[in-house]
Amino acid sequence: MRDDNCIFCKIANGDIPTNAIYEDDKYKVILDLGPATRGHALILPKYHFANIYEMPAENVAEAFSLAKRMAEEMTDRLGADGFNIVQNNNEVAGQTVFHFHIHLIPRYKGDGQTVGWKPGESTPEELSKIRELFQKSSS
């Protein structure tokens, strides 16, 4: 369940000291070393999966359920005005540590941070073609 070469496995299981704000038998929530905002934290499972594709759905559901609880508690304790939950998969999507984790980013009015993307453009034809990719074949 652990990967001996993985830094987040080591942090989550206590081999490397860190600033944790929550811990149970399966998860540790640590403060990010390069925080986007005050209180930016990461949910780390104590077991190793590289990303959301590899992780079983039950585990993903459990981790995101913890994200909801942490969002509420962190918003309250930190006095945040809002919250971003971010989860990156693969290098192209910004993942730099290949152990599944969820970013918990408290937001404050005027914090000057950007978490997101620049809106693009679409055409009705293009959107329709994409929708077709999700239509089940009847045979």
Residues that bind ligand 5GP (CB under 6 A): 7, 18, 30-34, 42, 88, 94-97
Q: Work out the number of other CB atoms within 10 angstroms of the CB of residue 106.
A: 24
* 101 part of the interface to Zn ion, by CB under 5 A: no
Q: What's the Rg (C-alpha) of the chain?
A: 18
* 78 part of the interface to Zn ion, by CB under 5 A: no
The residue of the chain with the least Cβ separation from ligand 5GP equals 34
CB of 68 to Zn ion, least distance (A): 23
The residue of the chain with the least Cβ separation from Zn ion equals 6
Quote the CA–CA distance of 97 and 32 in Å, as a whole number. 12
Record the tokens describing residue 32, joined without a space. Answer: 């990010």
Q: Work out the number of other CB atoms within 10 angstroms of the CB of residue 45.
A: 23
Active site residue 99: no
The dihedral sign for the CA sequence 66, 60, 8, 34: negative
CB of 108 to ligand 5GP, least distance (A): 18
With contact defined as beta carbons under 8 Å apart, do 25 and 15 qualify?
no
**Shorter beta-carbon distance to ligand 5GP: residue 74 or 136:** 74
Binding to Zn ion (CB under 5 A) within 12-71 occurs at: 48
With contact defined as beta carbons under 8 Å apart, do 27 and 99 qualify?
no
CB of 1 to ligand 5GP, least distance (A): 20
- DSSP-derived 3-state class of residue 73: helix
Q: Which does 32 bind (CB under 5 to 8 A by kind): Zn ion, ligand 5GP, none?
A: ligand 5GP
Q: Which residues have a catalytic role annotated?
A: 101
Q: Which spans of this chain sit near Zn ion (rule: CB under 5 A)?
A: 3, 6, 8-9, 48, 99
